A and B are shown apart, each in its own frame.
Chain A
Amino acid sequence: MSSPPIFDPAAIERLKATLGEEASILLPELIGEYLADLPNLVEQASTALDEQRTDDLRRLAHNMKSSSLTFGAMALAEAARLLELAAKEGTANPGLLAAVDAELPAARAALESAVEDLS
């Protein structure tokens, strides 16, 4: 299976359709919040992994997957999905979390560029 693209612009179109008139104000705010929150989620996931709290790890990975899919950060979402899947099976895999972390800069760059295009 080919690896997913870093970013899917269709996600932004879907969000515009979802938010309607409020998209021009809300969408940049939401993307900003998402990007600001990502390092926190990775950090919390790292603590959960160290402490072998796989249920928490699973939920955090699930949140990252879900929000990344919402904003079209496809490669990051896929890395988070693999982490979630392992945690669901009771495995706390540091390599999978590192893979998530590695996707952050590219996702950030793509979404920041998308925000610029909005205005």
Chain B
Amino acid sequence: MSDPTPKGRILIVDDEKLNRLLLSTNLKGSGYAVEEAVNGEDALEKVREQLFDIVLLDLIMPGIDGYEVLETMKSDSDLRHIPVIIVSAMDEMDSLVQCIELGATDYLFKPFDPVLLHARLNSSLSVKRLRDQEIAYTQQLEQQLELAGQAQRSMLPTMLPEPPGVSFAAIFEPARAVGGDFYDVFSLEGGKVGVLMADVSDKGMHAALFMGVSRALFARETAQSLDPVEVVTAVHLSLVGISSYSMFVTALYGILDPESRTFTFVRAGHDEPLLVRASGETKFMGGTGHALGMALGPPRFAAQTLTLDPGDSFIIYTDGVTDQKNPDREMFGRAQLEKRAISLRDQDADGLAQGIYHAVSAHRDGTDAFDDFTLLVMQAAK
């Protein structure tokens, strides 16, 4: 009775019936599942249709020969991981060197010795199994990262509030599957609007977890207080209290009163937001405040208030905007951000955000995004 779980699936490629018969009789008798291909065309068709653990490949065949089969397999991302063992005559040594260079795993001389055949198969199969495990593990990780990314993106607002006299526009583009930036714009009692942006130190899964926690803490605290200093202080103390891990988050949180067009905010170690007046006058807003989550002494946060006059814009962003490098490794920088904001200041909030995004993309010019890109524009109606 044949073994229901074969030791491996092997494709024998040889135009000579005798060689195929010898190999397949031996391999079937040893518990392998065997398929035969009578020439190169047949072989390529079969490796594309079925899964094999190993290909035993003859070199000299009419039509598509063994070299071409090998070359085609190794240049195909779906097939290149299948080990190929060359089975050839001993006087074809030069060809074997060429095959190893092309990516063949091993070789066997004809007429083959059955003991050597099995030694070669076992060795190639172990390598293949490790590689298969690696691929499965990588796919699993990618899937988990994708799900984590989806969960993160679901924490971002889908619609921004539209208070009278003030408009908002936001652009968020994560650099990887999971990111460390987040923002939110949400309605508060009395017609007021909460505006939040934050950037977790570092990147990857641990940063994503820290982002989720920070996001939840802000949600809790903003529902309890209308004082930005209180909110930021409470989030900071909670983060210090729950995590001894050396991570931190920079944040900017403020409350807009659309009626008076005043915005009172705390900058907690976050990039300095840019105020662009309708006149073209600009100012990067500093202020007192450190990053959240690191116990470096008593909390020190102070609020500052600005008033938006008609046509003024306030630009909040993360360092993924200003620190984006071009192919010459030069950063986009604050000066360019300021210059672009001045030239785009007559646009509406959306046009201003898009204009800056396109300027950063043009600067990037095909290089990798090193960090998440998050940009929020708050603009007073003209």
CA of A17 to CA of B113 in the docked complex: distance in angstroms?
9
A2 within 8 A of B: no
CA of A26 to CA of B26 in the docked complex: distance in angstroms?
12
Residues of chain B lying within 8 A (CB to CB) of residue A63: 16
- Interchain residue pairs A-B with the least CB separation, the first 3: A70-B111, A18-B114, A20-B29
Q: Specify which of B21, B26, B91, B111 lies most central, judged by the most chain A CB atoms within 10 Å of its CB.
A: B111
Residues of chain B lying within 8 A (CB to CB) of residue A93: none
Is B21 a contact partner of A66 (Cβ separation < 8 A)?
no
- Closest A residue to B91 by CB, please name it: A81
Name A's interface SS. Answer: helix
* Contact pick for B110, options A19, A30, A69, CB 8 Å: A69
24 pairs from A and B in contact (CB 8 Å cutoff)? A11-B111, A17-B114, A18-B22, A18-B25, A18-B26, A18-B112, A19-B26, A19-B29, A20-B29, A22-B29, A30-B18, A34-B18, A59-B62, A62-B60, A62-B89, A63-B16, A66-B16, A66-B19, A67-B16, A67-B18, A70-B18, A70-B22, A70-B111, A85-B91
Is B111 a contact partner of A69 (Cβ separation < 8 A)?
yes
Residues of chain B lying within 8 A (CB to CB) of residue A17: 114-115
CA of A67 to CA of B60 in the docked complex: distance in angstroms?
14
CA of A66 to CA of B87 in the docked complex: distance in angstroms?
11
Instruction: Give chain A's interface residues, CB within 8 Å of chain B.
Output: 11, 14-15, 17-22, 26, 30, 33-34, 59, 62-63, 65-67, 69-70, 81, 85
Chain B, interface residues (CB within 8 Å), range: 10 to 19
* Smallest beta-carbon distance B17→chain A, Å: 9
Residues of chain B lying within 8 A (CB to CB) of residue A18: 22, 25-26, 112, 114
- Closest B residue to A68 by CB, please name it: B111
Is B110 a contact partner of A70 (Cβ separation < 8 A)?
yes
- Closest A residue to B88 by CB, please name it: A66
Instruction: Give chain B's interface residues, CB within 8 Å of chain A.
Output: 16, 18-19, 21-22, 25-26, 29, 60, 62, 89, 91, 110-115
Residues of chain A lying within 8 A (CB to CB) of residue B115: 17
Is B25 a contact partner of A14 (Cβ separation < 8 A)?
no
Query: Count the A-B residue pairs with Cβ separation under 8 angstroms: how many?
Result: 51
- Closest B residue to A34 by CB, please name it: B18
Is A14 a contact partner of B111 (Cβ separation < 8 A)?
yes
* Smallest beta-carbon distance B375→chain A, Å: 66
Known: A33-B18, A34-B18, A66-B16. 19 other contacts (CB 8 A): A17-B114, A18-B25, A18-B26, A18-B112, A18-B114, A19-B22, A20-B25, A20-B26, A20-B29, A22-B25, A22-B29, A30-B18, A59-B62, A65-B89, A69-B89, A69-B110, A70-B111, A81-B91, A85-B91
CA of A111 to CA of B212 in the docked complex: distance in angstroms?
79
Asked if A30 meets B21 with Cβ closer than 8 Å, knowing A20-B29, A66-B89, the reply is yes
Residues of chain A lying within 8 A (CB to CB) of residue B62: 59
Residues of chain B lying within 8 A (CB to CB) of residue A65: 89
Residues of chain B lying within 8 A (CB to CB) of residue A85: 91
Residues of chain B lying within 8 A (CB to CB) of residue A34: 18
Residues of chain B lying within 8 A (CB to CB) of residue A59: 60, 62
Is B18 a contact partner of A14 (Cβ separation < 8 A)?
no
CA of A19 to CA of B115 in the docked complex: distance in angstroms?
12
CA of A21 to CA of B91 in the docked complex: distance in angstroms?
31
* Smallest beta-carbon distance A20→chain B, Å: 5
Residues of chain B lying within 8 A (CB to CB) of residue A21: 29
